[in-house]
Chain A
Amino acid sequence: DAGVIQSPRHEVTEMGQEVTLRCKPISGHNSLFWYRQTMMRGLELLIYFNNNVPIDDSGMPEDRFSAKMPNASFSTLKIQPSEPRDSAVYFCASSPPISSASYEQYFGPGTRLTVT
């Protein structure tokens, strides 16, 4: 299996621009998580989905952030408009169904976002 795939790996954009981060979870996994990592705040859970349905978006910092999961194999995290303080590494992770008795989250390699 290819693991969790994220694109792009690096993104540099100007303040005010729209940014879209993409994630393909591992096939067969039904939970998907978006995290943000910064030196100041560590690893923060932004939102997670189960069976393509958003379960908890309380970690989304503000209305500029939105996430979608139109099907089981694809999710996006969008920032519009972007600001310098959004600069961070964004991770996507997926996990298999609870019934599989595996409780691990598998992380993608991350997208490093720089907003100038």
Chain B
Amino acid sequence: GEDVEQSLFLSVREGDSSVINCTYTDSSSTYLYWYKQEPGAGLQLLTYIFSNMDMKQDQRLTVLLNKKDKHLSLRIADTQTGDSAIYFCAERKSGGYNKLIFGAGTRLAVHP
């Protein structure tokens, strides 16, 4: 099927690292994405990784890709209260139309 799977909830203490995991289905997917949705807002692209990469780092964000296991993770270092949001993993299907398949989203709660 086309399911992208994520755990639904994650709770972390402020200052700790958060790791959000995702599994996808299409081994031919060329791009994998992490989007962030804050309350009452649309989705915003956080970062993405091309399928020929294993890791991508962008300030506090680290994306790890294991193509063999079709597993994607997002690590947020030094998690802040402003990081509280829903995080969506998505895969871009092979083909020409930028169709993305989204996971159900992981709600990250950051507490003091």
Number of interface residues of B (CB under 8 A): 22
Q: Which residue of A lies closest to B30 (CB)?
A: A103
Interface of chain A residues 8 through 65 with chain B (CB within 8 A): 31, 33, 42-43, 45, 48, 50, 55-56
Number of interface residues of A (CB under 8 A): 22
Provide the bound-state CA to CA distance between A64 and B48, in Å.
36
Task: State the main secondary structure of chain B at its contact with A.
Answer: strand
Provide the bound-state CA to CA distance between A91 and B100, in Å.
14
Total A-B pairs, Cβ < 8 A: 53
Provide the bound-state CA to CA distance between A93 and B104, in Å.
17
Residue of B33, B88, B102 ringed by the most chain A CB atoms within 10 A: B102
**Which residues of A come within 8 Å of B, CB atoms?**
4, 31, 33, 42-43, 45, 48, 50, 55-56, 91, 93, 95, 98, 103-110
**Which residues of B come within 8 Å of A, CB atoms?**
30-31, 33, 35, 41-45, 48, 88, 92, 96-105
